[in-house]
Amino acid sequence: MLTNRPKSSRKRQQAQAVTEFIIAWPIILLAICFVVQLFWLWWAQQTLHTATQYAARTGAINHGSQQKMRMTLIGAMAGIKPQLNHEQPLVASLAAVAEQTLHYSLYGSIKVRQPTDEQFKQFSQRRWNVEQQQWVTEIPVDHYAARKAKQNNDEWAAARRLVIETQWCENLKIPLAAEFLGLIAKRRGECLLGNSAGQPQWPLNSSAEHEMLSGYRK
């Protein structure tokens, strides 16, 4: 009897360890899923910050063109999934851009917060564009009348700064974490298009500003 006690004790310990592992494993698995998903969202958010900065600079150079800012944002967001190890990197990059273009059309946006409509109305001028051979209305980079009037200096300086805001609904793909975070976003009224269609998504937002390097047009 005495010799059997250590064996039975070991069996009980092993059974207890197995039971504890079975109980703890779902919690461990869930924690791993959340860590991986949150890391991916962090990476996507950093990419969006960078893409928004690029888009703002593009807009500052190109008269606040929405189309060019949009193309820049999409191109930068295509870098979320690196294509360096692909056999045909160029083809993979083009496919990534096409995928993100479709994604943006459904789940992304760029909004110009400044110059405002009021600022455009106050400081815009009608000018002849030599390159396009047509009249354009823009807030000139060098607005002589506003620069000369001291009371308008601050307002004119603000009108010459391009401020944009971007929104991007990022797809969630890690099981368990995706469904949970998507449900939270849906209840908050965010990314409703994707979350309501069964594609869990999380909202990402960013903003950037840049001094206009060309006349702002609408």
Domain spans in the chain, listed from the N-terminal domain onward: 4-115+160-217
Asked if the model's pLDDT at residue 5 lies above 50, the reply is: yes
Decide: helix, strand or coil at residue 176.
Answer: coil
- The single-letter DSSP state of residue 152 is G
CA distance 179 to 34: 11
How far from 35 is each of 41, 122, 132, 168, 170, CA to CA, in Å? 10, 50, 53, 21, 16
Mean pLDDT of the chain: 87
Q: Which two tokens stand for residue 184?
A: 């939270």
Does pTM top 0.85 for this prediction? no
What does the pLDDT average to over 121-145?
87
The model's pLDDT over 37-78, given as tens digits with 9 standing for 90+, comes to 999 999 999 999 999 999 999 999 999 999 999 999 999 999
Residue 137's DSSP bridge partners are 126
Q: What percent of the chain has pLDDT over 70?
A: 82
Residue 202: both structure tokens together: 């999380």
H helix intervals, the chain: 4-61, 66-77, 89-107, 117-123, 144-148, 153-159, 177-187, 192-196
